[in-house]
Amino acid sequence: MVNNLYDNDLFKKTLIKLRKDIEQGIYPPNEKLHPLYELATIYQVTRTIMEAIIDQLVEENVVTRRLGIGVFVNPKPIYSSGIEELGSVSDMIRKAGKQPGTQYVAAEVVKPTAHDLNNFNATDLEAIARVERVRTADGEPVVYCIDKVDHARIPIGQIHSQNSIFKLIEDYTMMRIQYAHTYIEPIGFHEKISAILNCRPDQSLLLLKQMHYTEEHQPILYSANYFRSDAFQFHVVRKRL
């Protein structure tokens, strides 16, 4: 029975071997694996066992099945962290051992929307500094960022002076971002952003919408960050009440 394969020594041994071969680059990221029958021959197991092994690697997000095309090796994320850990995109990229960079797409001063007034909890907000940037890791585009701040508090001309908007806020306003309310939304192919981040047509994005607050609970920064799903991985520890 297929269900009993997971207790089979040959299944376990071959799973470990194939997983190790993928980790060592014998099967490079984004490359298509051999057909099932070839893999079964290479690793000297039955097709039933190999099919169960591929199922397990799909479950582990090591590989992805593309309907009608084949099984492909997933790139290892450059950054993986608990979603409860708050940090700037620059910090995330540095923790991954890569050099953060910035490509500016657009910067403008706009009239606040009703959504902006609600987010910043301010009825007297007159203008929003809105900046769109592509964040890179060792030159590779990995995050598309849309940031909004009160233009009276941080003029748009100041934003170009820093790669990290967290650091800019701390240096310019002398206030520290302490926490954020975050909403997570998986996004399919985005006509504009996916192309800029060099995503495949079937590659998803992870959108984090965040309202950031100071230690005094003042809303100070709104961000909509589109993370490339193959480069960033977030998880959360949930406890039973």
**Domain interval for residue 220:** 79-235
* pTM, 2 dp: 0.79
Q: Are residues 206 and 130 in the same domain?
A: yes
Using a pLDDT cut of 90, give the percent of the chain over it: 61
Q: Are residues 145 and 220 in the same domain?
A: yes
Query: 78 or 227, which is more confident?
Result: 227
* Residue after which a domain boundary falls, among 52, 73, 94: 73
Is 54 a member of any domain?
yes
pLDDT higher than threshold 80 for residue 160 = no
pLDDT at 6: 62
Q: Are residues 69 and 89 in the same domain?
A: no
| Cα Dmax for the chain | 71
pLDDT higher than threshold 90 for residue 81 = no
164 confidence band (pLDDT: 50, 70, 90): confident
Is 178 a member of any domain?
yes
Q: Are residues 229 and 143 in the same domain?
A: yes
* Residue after which a domain boundary falls, among 55, 73, 91: 73
pLDDT at 66: 87
Determine the Cα–Cα distance for residues 22 and 28; give it in Å rounded to an integer: 7
Q: Are residues 127 and 95 in the same domain?
A: yes
* Residue after which a domain boundary falls, among 25, 42, 73: 73
Determine the Cα–Cα distance for residues 47 and 28; give it in Å rounded to an integer: 22
Residue 19's domain is classified under what CATH number? 1.10.10.10
Is 241 a member of any domain?
no
Is 216 a member of any domain?
yes
pLDDT at 195: 94
Q: Are residues 134 and 193 in the same domain?
A: yes
Closest CA to 11 of 33, 40, 38, 36: 40
Q: Are residues 69 and 133 in the same domain?
A: no
Q: Are residues 86 and 148 in the same domain?
A: yes
Structurally, the chain folds into a number of domains equal to 2
pLDDT at 110: 96
Tens-place pLDDT, residues 20-75: 999 899 999 889 999 999 999 999 999 999 999 999 999 888 888 988 889 999 88
Is 240 a member of any domain?
no
Q: Are residues 176 and 84 in the same domain?
A: yes
Radius of gyration of the chain (CA): 22
Query: 222 or 231, which is more confident?
Result: 222
Tens-place pLDDT, residues 167-180: 899 999 999 999 99
Residue 156's domain is classified under what CATH number? 3.40.1410.10
Q: Are residues 188 and 210 in the same domain?
A: yes
Determine the Cα–Cα distance for residues 219 and 207; give it in Å rounded to an integer: 20
Q: Are residues 109 and 174 in the same domain?
A: yes
Two tokens at 152?
């009276």
Q: Are residues 112 and 208 in the same domain?
A: yes
